[in-house]
Amino acid sequence: MVGKIALGGAVALALTVGTAWAADIVVEQQNKAFTPTSAAAQVGDTLTFTNGDLYTHNMFSGTLGHEFNLGGQSPGEKKSITLTKAGTFEVECQIHPRMHLTVTVK
């Protein structure tokens, strides 16, 4: 019985520790550009796009296995995605095609 309780506590501790280490990687959008232009992350991290621009943006990735489309993002708005898969993918703005971000997830 003691072994089961200890195991249960260890599992709960592992889940808590694993969740505590997830990072929020913030990508600013200003002057029709991403800052930074590349980001390194871990599976489980969050990628947050903050629109500090005067223009609406629309972040998306068409990279196979990492596809997403956040839709229109108004000035001052924040939108996030959780990174669920390892790999490298490109993020672009559908409205401003010169905006590029490379994300590497390990």
pLDDT in tens, 29-80: 999 999 999 999 999 999 999 999 999 999 999 999 999 999 999 999 999 9
Give the confidence band of 22 by pLDDT, cuts at 50, 70, 90: confident
Q: Specify the pTM.
A: 0.78
Which parts of the chain fold into alpha helices (H)? 2-20
pLDDT at residue 52, as a whole number? 97
Q: What is the mean pLDDT of residues 5-32?
A: 64
Q: What is the mean pLDDT of residues 24-30?
A: 97
Q: How is the chain split into domains, by residue range?
A: 22-105
pLDDT of residue 20: 55
What is the separation of C-alpha 73 from the centre of its chain, rounded to a whole number of angstroms?
Answer: 15
The arrangement of secondary structure in 22-105, i.e. its CATH architecture, is: Sandwich (2.60)
CA atoms within 13 A on the CB side of 106: 3
